[in-house]
Amino acid sequence: MVHFVGAGPGAPDLITRRGAALLQTADCIIYAGSLVNPALLGLAKAGCAIYNSAEMTLEQVLAVMRQMEAEHKTTVRLHTGDPCLYGAIREQMDALDADGIAYDDTPGVSSFCGAAAALNAEYTLPAVSQTVIITRMEGRTPVPEKEKLASLASHGATMVIFLSIGLIDKVQEALLQGAYTASTPAAVVYKATWPEQKTVRCTVGTLAQSTKQAGITKTALIVVGDFLGRCYARSKLYDPAFTTEYREGIKP
């Protein structure tokens, strides 16, 4: 059996209870060493085989899984955040399906949630933004033509940009081609929820400069939108005049 597990954004205590229990009982752990907090490996039982997938190819990862399965052992494939986002899990699952190897998926807290927590921010504010676009800048890994960053930026919605901090100049340029202006609020969150977490608040117009001045070159999220500003409408749900299934609104 193979268990895909979301490790959470970084802090060891932000893994789910289910994920932690699976780590404690695994015979083998294959973890994304470039991103997963190694402190989580302290949950492994004695004798657990541990592999760093940052040093492996897909074929090597699958070979370990197949060997563990042949020995009737349990493998945990530990991915950063929630593996459904940029986790490259589909190709692993398809291979396991072809081999008839059983697996399941335990979700984790994504780093985009950790970034919001670091900023004490709410991505969806009434009258500001009710949509969150999660994307990345095109680099060595291409994106579909219709999902170019400048095109997505035309919506002016809240945007969370993964895997793009090394392309910060191009990110800024693409954002300014959309609905954002140089004064639109932005922020960069480095290693959200880790002890070395760092946040940089800026604007789209100063995004590249602020990031470089902070010395941030990897392992960071870029967030953009007016949700980082101070203006928004009050929630209707908790408005005394708003009637819900559970209470009658009071007319002013």
Q: Dump pLDDT digits (tens) for 124-167.
A: 999 999 999 999 999 998 999 999 999 999 999 999 999 999 99
DSSP letter assigned to residue 235: P
pLDDT at 249: 86
pTM of the model: 0.94
Contacts of 110 (CB under 8 A, 6+ apart): 6, 9, 81, 82, 85
Q: Fill in the amino acid letter for 9.
A: P
pLDDT at 41: 97
Look at residues 6, 59, 3 and name the one whose alpha carbon lies nearest to residue 37. 6
pLDDT at 241: 86
Torsion, Cα of 149, 150, 151, 155 (10° steps): 100
Q: Domains, the chain, ranges and CATH?
A: 2-106 (3.40.1010.10), 111-228 (3.30.950.10)
Which segments in the chain show pLDDT lower than 50? none
